[in-house]
Amino acid sequence: MLLLAGWLLGSMQQPQLPIKTEVPFPAETREQKDARMDWWREARFGMFIHWGLYSIPAGEWMGSKGQGEWIRDTANIPLEAYDKFAGHFNPHKFDAEQWVKIAKDAGMKYIVITSKHHDGFALYDSKVSEFDVMVTPFKRDVLKELADECKKQELTLCFYHSIMDWHNADYLPRRSWEVAQRPERGADFDRYVRYLHAQVTELLTNYGPIGTMWFDGEWESTWNHGYGQALYNLCRTLQPNTIVNNRVDVGRGGMAGMSDAGYAGDYGTPEQEIPTTGLPGVDWETCMTMNGHWGYNRSDKSFKSTRELIRNLVDIASKGGNYLLNVGPTSLGEIPQESVVRLKEIGEWMRVYGDSIYGTSSSAFENLPWGRSTVKRRNGKTMVFLHVFDWPADGILAVPGLGSDPLRAFLLSDDSSVAARRDGPNTILLLPKVPPNADDTVIGLEFDGAPTIYEAPRIEADTDIFVNSLTVKINTRPGLDVRYTIDGTPPTVASPLSSGVLKLDGDAVVSAQAFHEGSAVTPVVVRRFNKVPPRPSVTPTDFESALLAKVYSGSWDRLPDFGAMQTVSSFLMPVVSILGPMEGEAIGIRAEGYIRVPKSEVYMFELTSDDGARLCFGDELVVDNDGLHSPEAKTGAIALATGCHAIRVDWFNKTGGTALRLRYATPGDGYNEVPAAWLTHAR
C-alpha cells in the first residue's frame, strides 16, 4: 500500500508552486515556441509503450479475454487482488537496448512510455511511493535504463503519466464498483495532487532532458483547469524546453483530442482517429494501437497490416500531425513479435522514403484521389512529395490543380526522372507500369520557391436534404472564376458564374469548377441535393411532459437490446442530458416519448455521449454514436412535419466519466438545447 501522505511529502523537496492556480506559464514568443517544438515537428513518428502490471493477466480475468490496461477497473478487480501482481512482475527479458533499437530501426524518433498508468503502478524507483517497480522481483528502474539507452542511440525519451490513480488512497472519485470496499471518507484530493506533483518532479529531475510529458486521465470531475495549469507550470519550471500535451488540462473534446483556447497544453491528442481534413495551424499527434488494445492482450491478434500502418503515418504527416504508434510488451519484457515484424517493415519503407515524412508540413493539395502529399521547404526551394497509394495501371498519373511546372520530377526510390506535361487542369506524370513499392511509392516534385496550386471550389450547405428551399454556398478563391451547373453536367466557360450563394427550390446536382484566364484549373466538384417530404406527425393522447427514461444495469462495449432486458428503475427526463440517476458505471438508459416541432423543416440533431448512444425517430436511426469512447458528438438530419414525432434515445456508460446531451438546429441556425417544452411521453 502507499505510504502516508505526510511521509511522502517530507521525503523529497516539494516544488513551491500553489496547486490551484489559473495563472498561465510566462508567455513565450511564437519564435520561442517554434524553437521548443522544432524537434517534435521534425520527428513526425514516435513509439508509444503501454507496460505495467496489467501485462501479467494479459487481458484475461475470470473467463473474460477482452481486457487491457484498464483491467483492474473493467474486470472489477479488488485492490488487494491487483496488488498481488507486483509480486509476480519479473520481466527478465526486458532489454532497453533492444527496445530502443526496434523503435529507431522503424524510423521512430521518440519514445513515450507509461511511467505510471491509471492503476497507479510506477515503472521507476519513486521515492514517494512503495507501489513501484522496486517492490517487484525485478527491482530495476525501467525508465533509467531507457533514458541511458535513448541517449546512446539518439532518440528522445518522453513520459506518459496518469493523472487518474486507482491505487492512491487520496485520489477521488473512487470507482463506483469499489466504493463499498474503499470508502471515500478521509481522502484528500489536494494531498493527492501534491503526490502527483512529487512524482512529476522526480520524472523531470532524475532522467535527463525529457521531450514531452504526456498526461492522461484528466476527464474525471475532480480535476479542473486550475490543477491542469499548475501541473503544466510545474513541468515547464522544472524543464523549460519540455513539451506538454493538452491532457494536462480539462479542455480536451473527447477522442478528437483538441482543446479550446485558454487551456494549458502545447499540442492536441486525437486518439485512435485521424482528423478528416487536418488541423491547420495547430500542433497535434494521433496516438493509435497496432491491434485493439494498448496494454498486452495475448488473445488479440487483430493487428493492422504494415500497409495500413504506413498509410496512416503518411495520412497524418500529410495533414501536419505526428503519429504515435503503440506497442504493449508482455510480462516477460518482450515487444510482441507481430509488432516487431510490422515495425521492421515500416523501417524498410522509411529508409527509402523517410525524407517525405521527417520535417514535412501538410499537403498543399486539398484532395488527391490516388493518395496523399507532404511538403518540405529548404534552401529557397519547395519539395512536394506525392504519395501514390493507388498506382495507375497505365502509368499515367494526373495531379490536379498544379499551376506551376516543376524543375524536376523523380522517383524517391532510385532518383530516376519522371516525365511531366500539362493537360488542362492536370499535370500528367508518366510512371513505370509497376510501382517500386506497392504500399506507397513516393514521387518528388521540386520547385523554385512556392508552387501555385489551385484549390477546387467547395460546395457548402447545412444538409443534403431540404423541405422548402435550401441556400448553398459555392466557395470561391481570389483570382479564379468559379462556374457551376445544377444538372450534374461539367461546367464550361459558358456556364453561369458563381456569386458565392445559390438558392435551390428543387432537386439538384450542383457541379462547380474553377477557371483561370478561360482555362479550367481544378477538377469538377459535385454535390447532390434532394427536396424531400417531411416525416408525418402523429397525435399522441393522454401525454405528459418529459421523456420516460428506463434504467438498465450491465457492462457493454456497444448498445444492447434494451427492449429485451429487465429495467432497474425509471424516471422522467425533462431534457436529454446527464442527470443524477444516470451517473455511474455499467449503466444504460432508454428514454422514449415524443418531440413536438414547431414547423415543417429539416432538423439537424447533435448527440454527444460517453460512452455510446443512438437517436431514433420511430424505427429510423438518425444519429449513431455507439461504441466505447470519451465524450464525442455525432450529427444527423431528418425532415419532420409540424407536430409530434416518436423519439427514442439509447445510451450506456461502461466505465469512467459520463456524458449525454441532445441539441438541435435548423438550416441557417446554430445548435441549441432541445427545449423541455418539446418533449412529452404517454401516461
DSSP, collapsed to helix, strand or coil, labels residue 47 as: strand
Condensed to tens digits (0 to 9), the pLDDT of residues 442-474 reads 999 999 999 999 989 999 999 999 999 999 999
Compute the Cα dihedral for 362, 32, 263, 187 and give only its sign: positive
Condensed to tens digits (0 to 9), the pLDDT of residues 115-127 reads 999 999 999 999 9
Q: Are 648 and 592 in contact (CB under 8 A)?
A: yes
| Residue 266 confidence (pLDDT) above 60 | yes
CATH number of 543-682: 2.60.120.1560
When pLDDT is averaged across residues 638-643 and rounded to a whole number, the result is 97
Distance of CA 537 to the CA centre of its chain: 39
Q: Read off the pLDDT band of 280 (50, 70, 90).
A: confident
Condensed to tens digits (0 to 9), the pLDDT of residues 342-351 reads 999 999 999 9
Q: Within a 10 A sphere around the Cβ of 356, how many other Cβ atoms?
A: 26
Rounded distance, CA 75 to CA 175, Å? Answer: 12
| Residue 278 confidence (pLDDT) above 90 | no
Looking at per-residue pLDDT, the higher value among 144 and 583 belongs to 144
When pLDDT is averaged across residues 615-636 and rounded to a whole number, the result is 93
pLDDT for res 584: 67
Strands (E), 574-629: 587-597, 601-610, 613-617, 620-625
Q: Read off the pLDDT band of 15 (50, 70, 90).
A: very low
Long-range contacts of 338-343 (CB under 8 A, 24+ apart): 338/290, 338/291, 338/301, 338/303, 339/290, 339/303, 340/102, 341/306, 342/290, 342/303, 342/304, 342/305, 342/306, 342/309, 343/102, 343/103, 343/105, 343/106
Distance of CA 54 to the CA centre of its chain: 23
When pLDDT is averaged across residues 652-663 and rounded to a whole number, the result is 86
Condensed to tens digits (0 to 9), the pLDDT of residues 353-386 reads 999 999 999 998 988 999 999 999 988 999 999 9
When pLDDT is averaged across residues 182-196 and rounded to a whole number, the result is 96
Rounded distance, CA 117 to CA 195, Å? Answer: 15
Q: Are 9 and 198 in contact (CB under 8 A)?
A: yes
Map out the domains of the chain as residue ranges: 5-356, 371-448, 458-531, 543-682
Q: If we measure between CA atoms, which residue out of 86, 433, 35 comes closest to residue 241?
A: 35
- 5-356: CATH topology is TIM Barrel (3.20.20)
| Residue 422 confidence (pLDDT) above 50 | yes
Q: Read off the pLDDT band of 254 (50, 70, 90).
A: confident
| Residue 601 confidence (pLDDT) above 60 | yes
Compute the Cα dihedral for 620, 622, 625, 631 and give only its sign: negative
Condensed to tens digits (0 to 9), the pLDDT of residues 499-532 reads 999 999 999 999 999 999 899 999 899 999 999 9
Query: What is the H or E stretch that residue 98 is in?
Result: helix 96-105
Rounded distance, CA 451 to CA 403, Å? Answer: 7
pLDDT for res 19: 53
Q: Read off the pLDDT band of 619 (50, 70, 90).
A: very high
Q: Are 116 and 159 in contact (CB under 8 A)?
A: no
pLDDT for res 5: 29
When pLDDT is averaged across residues 221-246 and rounded to a whole number, the result is 96
| Residue 193 confidence (pLDDT) above 70 | yes
DSSP, collapsed to helix, strand or coil, labels residue 285 as: strand
Condensed to tens digits (0 to 9), the pLDDT of residues 163-186 reads 999 999 999 999 988 998 999 999
Domains 5-356 and 371-448 agree in fold: no
pLDDT for res 650: 97
The architecture (CATH level 2) of 458-531 comes to Sandwich (2.60)
DSSP, collapsed to helix, strand or coil, labels residue 194 as: helix
| Residue 21 confidence (pLDDT) above 70 | no
Query: What is the H or E stretch that residue 485 is in?
Result: strand 481-485
Q: Read off the pLDDT band of 668 (50, 70, 90).
A: confident
**364: DSSP letter:** S
Which CATH superfamily groups domain 371-448?
A: Golgi alpha-mannosidase II (2.60.40.1180)
Q: Read off the pLDDT band of 298 (50, 70, 90).
A: very high
Among left, alpha and beta (phi > 0; psi -120 to 50; other), residue 124 is beta
| Residue 130 confidence (pLDDT) above 60 | yes
The per-residue pLDDT of the chain, averaged, comes to 93
Q: If we measure between CA atoms, which residue out of 228, 235, 215 comes closest to residue 115?
A: 215
Burial 176-212 (b: 16+ CB within 10 A, else e): bbbeeeeeeeebebebbbbbbbbbbbbbbeebeebbb
| Residue 210 confidence (pLDDT) above 50 | yes
When pLDDT is averaged across residues 319-329 and rounded to a whole number, the result is 98
